[in-house]
Structure 1
Amino acid sequence: MQIHYLSEANSVLNHFLGQIRNVNVQNDSMRFRRNIERIGEVMAYELSKDLHYKNVEIQTPLGIKKTTEIEDRLVLCSILRAGLPLHLGFLNYFDAAENGFVSAYRHHPNNDDAFEIRVEYQAVPQIAGKNLLLIDPMLATGQSVVAVFNKLLEKGQPKEIHIAVVIAAPEGVAYLQQHLPDYCHLWVATLDEKLNEKNYIVPGLGDAGDLAYGNKL
């Protein structure tokens, strides 16, 4: 797996990352969503450098300009619900992409810290032969991404697979390296220290879905 760590070079990305973590800023849910969206825009720009392009000629009012445009057919697929603001950031840049949505969550059958991943709702277009961008803001254990990935592959084999996450734990990155094909690309805005005993990312930022959309039952 090819891994791209985007925060290693200073840019405005780190400014947005600091704001979504800051407890004095993140309690404004509208601002939190917008910052996640802006992070998605920055990540989309960086990922766009790895896509394939074709030569085109553009008619301007004064002549012809030779340039390039994206050749790949893209499918953006986010994991509900936390992935929605990040998805929008990618869609702002890849506005011609098709879109898919999948629900995945931790189910605690014994009401303790042990859990299994359940993948339920799906609304996904055809992905065979296209570039699949799987979007989820938090990569903790990695189990949700792998479960969704395996479910999506039942619909066909993409041409390329890119996974985009905002905050990752080393354990989650290692899990993806173990369970996903070598040809996948993992795009990480920033890498954190570890998972705690409840498998939450430390220092992390809390629950991204709750911060964006309010507490759930």
Structure 2
Amino acid sequence: MIVHNLSETPSILNTFLSELRDTAIQTDRMRFRRNIERVGEIMAYEISKTISYSNQATTTPLGISNSKLPDEEIVIANVLRAGLPLHQGILNYFDKADNSFISAYRHHEEDPSKFEIIVEYLASPSLKNKTLILADPMLASGKSMVNVHNALLKIGKAKSIHLAAVVAAPEGIEYISKHFDSNTHLWVAAIDEKLNDYGYIIPGLGDAGDLSFGTKLQH
């Protein structure tokens, strides 16, 4: 797997990431969602450098302009509900893309440190021979990414895959690297220190879904 850690090169991305982590700022839900969306826009721009292009002519009021424009069919998928702002940021740039929506959540047993990932809802076009961008802001254990992709495989295999996460844990990266092809691209804004005993990223930023949309009832 090819890992792109965007925070390794200082840029305005680090400002958005810092605000996402900051407990004094992240209580502003609208700003939190917008900052994740901004991260998605930056990732979309970086991903755009890896896709294929062809020459196309555009008629202007004064003549013809020749440009290299994207010629890949793209599907953007997100893991509900936390993935919605990141999805929107990517869609802002790949605005002609098709879209997939998948629900996945942690189902805890009596031991709060143990859980399984349940995938329930899936709405998607065929992925056959298309470029898949799968967005989930928190890459913790990596189980959500793998389980969601396994569900998507039932409706077609993408020709190339880009995984997009705001914050990732080393354990999650190691896990998904065993389940995705070596030419899969992983785009992250930051790779953090570790997972805690409950499977949450340290230092992380908290629950991205709750911070975006409000606290949910636990399963």
Give the conservation status (yes or no) of the 8 Å contact 2:112–2:198.
no
Q: Which moved more, 1:174-183 or 1:71-80?
A: 174-183
Q: Which residue of 1 aligns with 2:206?
A: 206
The CA distance in 2 between the partners of 1:112 and 1:209, in whole Å, is 19
TM-score by length of 2: 0.97
Q: Deviations over 1:47-87 (max 9, x none)?
A: 11011111111111111111111110000000000000000
Alpha-carbon offset, residue 183 of structure 1: 2.2
Matched, 1:31 2:5: no
Residue 126 of structure 2 is matched in structure 1 by: 126
Q: Corresponding residue for 2:11?
A: 11
Q: Establish whether residue 183 from structure 1 lines up as the match of residue 189 from structure 2.
A: no
Q: Does 1:157 align with 2:157?
A: yes
Q: 1:155 is paired with a residue of what secondary structure?
A: coil
Cα separation, 2, equivalents of 1:87 and 1:97: 11
- Equivalent AA in structure 2 for residue 84 of structure 1: L
CA distance in 2, matches of 1:159, 1:87: 20
Where do 5+ consecutive residues of structure 1 fail to align?
none
Q: Deviations over 1:153-181 (max 9, x none)?
A: 11111111111111000000000111222
Match of 1:66 in 2: 66
State the match for 1:109 in structure 2.
109
Aligned residue number for residue 140 of structure 1: 140
Matched letter for residue 141 of structure 1: S
**Total equivalences in the alignment:** 217
Q: Is the 2:79–2:102 contact (alpha carbons within 8 Å) kept by the matching residues of 1? A: yes
What CA distance in whole angstroms lies between the structure 1 residues aligned with 2:145 and 2:11? 27
1:28-53 deviation per Cα after TM superposition (whole angstroms, max 9, x unaligned): 00110011111100110011101111
RMSD: 0.8
SS of the residue corresponding to residue 144 of structure 2 reads helix
The 2-side partners of 1:28 and 1:35 are apart by 11
Percent identity of paired positions between Structure 1 and Structure 2: 56
Aligned residue identity for 1:189: A
Looking at structure 2, the residues matched to 32 and 15 of structure 1 have their Cα atoms a distance apart, in angstroms, of 12
- Structure 2 counterpart SS, 1:64: strand
TM-score by length of 1: 0.98
Report the AA paired with residue 24 of structure 2: N
Amino acid in the other structure paired with 1:76: I
Q: Which moved more, 1:146-155 or 1:102-111?
A: 102-111
**What SS class does the counterpart of residue 174 from structure 2 fall into?**
helix
- The amino acid of 1:212's aligned partner reads S
In 1, the alpha carbon distance for the partners of 2:51 and 2:188 equals 17
Aligned-residue offset at 1:109 = 2.6
Per-residue deviation at 1:111?
4.8
Q: Which amino acid aligns with 2:113?
A: D
User: In 2, Cα distance between the equivalents of 1:112 and 1:13?
Assistant: 34
